[in-house]
Amino acid sequence: MSTTTDDDVQLWYHTLDLPGRPPTNGWFDLRGIAAALPWPEVKGLRCLDIATYDGFYAFELEHRGAASVVATDISDHNEWDWPIGMRQLGGEELGRMVGEKGAGFEHAHSILGSAVEKIECNVYDLTPERVGTFDVVICGSLFVHLRDPVRAIEAIRSVCGGTFMSVESVSLRLSKLFPRRPMAELGDRDEICQWWSANAAGHRRMLEAGGFEVLSASGLFAVPFGPAHPFHSTKPQSPRARGAEIFRRASMRGQDGVPHHAVLAKPR
């Protein structure tokens, strides 16, 4: 049984509903958008949540009746796919800001009495020999943080025996300018470890290039900022940032948060 306490969780990434207490003070709040995602049937099936962080999708799979759920994530902040200029200090600086990797998952797991099995494994290292194969695989908001997202998708395909739901951060600007042409741009802020930001068409194309057939896809939607996120209560100050916020709100029908796109796919 986990020995983590509230004091051990320096920062929650996910807003979670835990029994007997207020929702966790997360950076992002997925609760309102979960029902609108293109979920496959999970009841009675073996399921995998990749890059689980605090475990929102893993616990949701369990809640939806999965027979078993495995959650994977890296074991340490140094294992993020840091650009070369941040590899010496990135993990240490992130650790000071958010605390120990996995503390939120362990604490929530204990409070929920969850049966989710957690395996420390980088997405690039997923293989049937290491983690097995799964009827349903979920991955949320990961590819933007990877230097080689298609390589990661190929690894995901190797352990997916049924359906894969990818819920990914996308570029709103590129999605609006190029609704049908796959596009991506390379980020310029190494300190937040964001590499390729694709448009919605690019998200689909990455999955196809990694060996999946797209079954269905959502429209654009916003993953709301949670109460701990700086943007939840503080508005951007620079003219460029304010302009980006106005564009985002206008394009997302007033929704506030990070633009995302969801795809349901199966291995080819």
Q: What confidence score (pLDDT) does residue 250 get?
A: 73
Domain ranges of the chain: 6-267
pLDDT > 70: what percent of the chain?
A: 94
Q: What is the pTM of this model?
A: 0.93
User: How many Å from the N-terminal Cα to the C-terminal Cα in the chain?
Assistant: 40
Choose the weakest-confidence range: 85-89, 104-108, 170-174, 227-231: 227-231
pLDDT on residue 139: 98
pLDDT band of residue 3 (cuts 50, 70, 90) is: low
Residue 28 pairs in a beta bridge with 14, 225
Residue 127 above 90 pLDDT? yes
Does residue 201 contact residue 176 with C-beta atoms inside 8 Å? no
Q: Are 26 and 101 in contact (CB under 8 A)?
A: no
Query: What pLDDT sits at residue 162?
Result: 98
Q: Give the mean model confidence (pLDDT) for residues 47-61.
A: 98
**pLDDT tops 60 at residue 178:** yes
Identify the pLDDT of residue 185. Answer: 97
Across residues 144-161, what is the average pLDDT?
Answer: 98
Q: What is the mean pLDDT of the chain?
A: 93
Q: What is the dihedral of CA 216, 160, 165, 18, to 10 degrees?
A: 150
Q: Does the pLDDT of residue 1 top 60, yes or no?
A: no
Average pLDDT for 54-75: 98
Rounded average pLDDT over 47-62 = 98
| CATH number of this structure's domain 6-267, picked from the four choices 3.30.428.10, 3.30.450.20, 3.40.50.150, 3.40.30.10 | 3.40.50.150
Q: Whole-angstrom Cα distance, residue 10 to residue 95?
A: 10
pLDDT (0 to 100) of residue 222: 95
Is 24:15 a contact under the CB 8 Å cutoff? yes
**pLDDT confidence of residue 6:** 83
Residue 234 pLDDT more than 70? Answer: no
What pLDDT sits at residue 118?
Answer: 98
Whole-number Å distance between alpha carbons of 225 and 206: 26
Grade residue 8 by pLDDT with cuts at 50, 70 and 90. Answer: confident
* Least reliable range by pLDDT among 41-50, 166-175, 180-189, 232-241: 232-241
pLDDT at 267 over 60: yes
Q: Note the pLDDT tens digit of each residue in 192-233.
A: 999 999 999 999 999 999 999 999 999 999 999 999 998 866
Both structure tokens of 97: 């800001």
- In this prediction, residue 243 carries a pLDDT of 73
